[in-house]
């Protein structure tokens, strides 16, 4: 008997795996083609290309599902050389396994079809029906720096995360490796790196080596039991503009955490705590107006919860993925093992003055 969401899980993981190949090619082979978006955040040919490949795989398998994806093709329609650079990558990226590539429906017809596919990620989201959410490259700044980044995909059903997959090409493949954002000085090959995290609601969380063909064997992951806060390690964003690092230092001190925070870009933070490499992930608001995006959290939220963690915002509320493209009703993120979450939450609220 096949389990619930088994097909969605398989397609999601293969789609993430294929898109990850494209991002690695961008990093190793080409200039990054970086352009600035309206909000001044960077986007590269890797972001656009990865989004095209993932949406194409989803539309082939689940043509009626909605898609909320980060990027859109307007810039590319006005910039044919950029479009052609992306098309060349998309056209020549496939899984190194005929059956797996076949499951994703193979390639895209032409450059114009690619632009239309990228724009199919424009759903408004919401709390009704099946909605996939895609962050083709999460942590673009980490990607550009040669640090951590992630290819993220999740399925929401009636606003609830049911399936999540996160590809982390630069994390150690070994779940027992120490928590670090460092990929090794002058690392030029992918030796020992690349992990694919996944989860299905009610079925636990898994990690497996990130491959370039068929899926590798997975193993079940869980958060580390944390009994003594002085041994805890917590992770946060590299970018001070994405999470308040001086408040997190005060919180850590009050909790009795003695280790320095580990700063890493992207949802690699969720994956790292889910496999017990780290313990706590704090994301503390830096502005009253910024709304977190659903594609930045959906897969990580499920993977951590399925690994035995609890994920809330700074008010203690579950993340609500059913209110549109953003987490408009939430503020910040606190992810921690269930047993200590309330302790962490109360210190966060004390330091931040949250009532």
Ligand X SMILES: Nc1ncnc2c1ncn2[C@@H]1O[C@H](COP(=O)(O)O)[C@@H](O)[C@H]1OP(=O)(O)O
Q: Which residues make up the interface to ligand X (CB under 6 A)?
A: 41, 138-140, 237-239, 241-242, 265-266, 286-287, 290, 296
Our CB check for ligand X shows the closer of 200 and 273 to be: 273
Residue 286 interacts, among Mg ion, ligand X, none and using kind-specific CB cut-offs from 5 to 8 Å, with ligand X
Annotated catalytic residue within 47, 119, 135, 138: 47
In the bound complex, what is the minimum distance in angstroms from residue 113's beta carbon to ligand X? 25
A 10 A CB-CB count for 253 gives: 12
Say which residues have a Cβ less than 8 Å from residue 148's Cβ, sequence separation at least 6.
Answer: 139, 142, 168, 170, 171, 181, 183, 264, 265, 266, 268
Three-state SS for 114? Answer: helix
Q: How far is the CB of 203 from ligand X (least distance, A)?
A: 27
| Residue 70 Cβ vs Mg ion, minimum distance, rounded to whole Å | 5
Rounded distance between C-alpha atoms, residue 181 and residue 204, angstroms: 25
Q: Of 140 and 206, which has the nearer Cβ to Mg ion?
A: 140
Our answer to whether residue 189 is catalytic in this structure is no
Closest residue to Mg ion in the complex (CB): 138
Binding residues (CB under 5 A) for Mg ion: these are: 41, 70, 135, 137-138, 140, 296
Would you mind telling me the total number of residues written for the chain in this entry? 355
Residue 154: name the closest of 52, 68, 238, 262 by CA. 68
Q: CA torsion 201→204→207→210, rounded to 10°?
A: -30
CA distances from 284 to 242, 332, 333, 354 (A): 8, 5, 7, 12
Q: Tell me the CB-side half-sphere exposure of residue 192, using CA atoms within 13 A.
A: 9
Q: 44, 133, 140, 312: which one is catalytic?
A: 140
Sign of the CA dihedral with 78 first, then 80, 82, and 87 last = positive
User: What is the phi/psi pair of residue 221, to 5°?
Assistant: -120, 155
The residue among 144 and 214 lying less far from ligand X, judged by its C-beta, is 144
User: What is the smallest separation between the CB atom of 328 and Mg ion, expressed in angstroms?
Assistant: 17
String of DSSP letters for 222-284: -PPP---GGG--EEE-S-TTTS-HHHHHHHHHHHT--SPPEE--STHHHHHHHTTS-SEEEE-
Q: Which does 5 bind (CB under 5 to 8 A by kind): Mg ion, ligand X, none?
A: none
Angstrom distance (rounded) from CA 21 to CA 76: 21
Nearer to ligand X (CB atom), residue 26 or residue 104: 26
Q: Is 140 a catalytic residue?
A: yes
| Nearest-approach distance from CB 90 to Mg ion, in angstroms | 17
Closest Cα to residue 29, out of 39, 21, 37, 40?
21
Among ligand X, Mg ion, none, the one that 237 touches (CB under a kind-dependent 5 to 8 A) is ligand X
Smallest separation (angstroms) from Mg ion to the CB of 340? 27
| CA 50 – CA 335 distance, rounded (Å) | 27
Cα 157 from Cα 267, distance rounded (Å) = 21
Q: Smallest distance from the beta carbon of 63 to ligand X, in angstroms?
A: 27
Pick 222 or 326: Cβ nearer ligand X: 326
Closest to Mg ion by CB, 138 vs 236, is 138
Nearer to Mg ion, 39 or 228 (CB): 39
Residues annotated as catalytic (active site), given as ranges: 47, 140
């Amino acid at each position: 008997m096949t389990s619930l969401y088994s097909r969605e899980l398989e397609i999601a993981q293969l789609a993430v795996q294929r898109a990850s190949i494209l991002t690695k090619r961008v990093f190793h082979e080409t200039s990054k083609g970086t352009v600035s978006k309206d909000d001044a955040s960077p986007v590269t040919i890797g972001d656009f290309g990865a989004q095209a490949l993932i949406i194409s795989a989803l539309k082939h398998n689940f043509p009626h599902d909605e898609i909320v994806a980060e990027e859109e093709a307007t810039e590319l329609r006005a910039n044919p050389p950029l479009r052609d650079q992306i098309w060349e990558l998309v056209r020549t990226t496939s899984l190194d396994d005929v059956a797996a590539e076949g499951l994703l429906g193979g390639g895209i017809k032409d450059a114009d079809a690619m632009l239309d596919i990228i724009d199919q990620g424009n759903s408004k989201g919401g709390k009704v029906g099946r909605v996939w959410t895609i962050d083709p490259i999460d942590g673009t700044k980490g990607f550009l720096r040669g640090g951590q980044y992630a290819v993220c995909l999740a399925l929401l059903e009636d606003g609830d995360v049911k399936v999540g997959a996160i590809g982390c090409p630069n994390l150690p493949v070994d779940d027992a490796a120490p928590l670090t954002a460092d990929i090794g000085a002058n690392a030029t090959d992918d030796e020992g790196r690349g992990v694919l995290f996944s989860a299905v609601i009610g079925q636990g969380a898994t990690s497996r080596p990130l491959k370039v063909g068929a899926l590798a064997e997975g193993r079940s992951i869980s958060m580390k039991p944390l009994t003594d806060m002085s041994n805890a390690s917590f992770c946060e964003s590299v970018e001070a503009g994405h999470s308040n690092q001086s408040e997190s230092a005060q919180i850590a001190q009050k909790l009795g955490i003695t280790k320095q925070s580990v700063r890493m870009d992207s949802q690699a933070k969720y994956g790292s705590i889910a496999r017990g490499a780290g313990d706590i992930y704090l994301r503390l608001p830096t502005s009253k107006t910024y709304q977190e995006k659903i594609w930045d959290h959906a897969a990580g939220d499920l993977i951590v919860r399925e690994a035995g963690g609890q994920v809330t915002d700074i008010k203690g509320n579950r993340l609500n993925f059913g209110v549109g493209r953003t987490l408009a009703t939430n503020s910040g993120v606190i992810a921690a093992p269930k047993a200590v979450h309330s302790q962490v939450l109360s210190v966060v609220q004390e330091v931040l003055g949250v009532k």
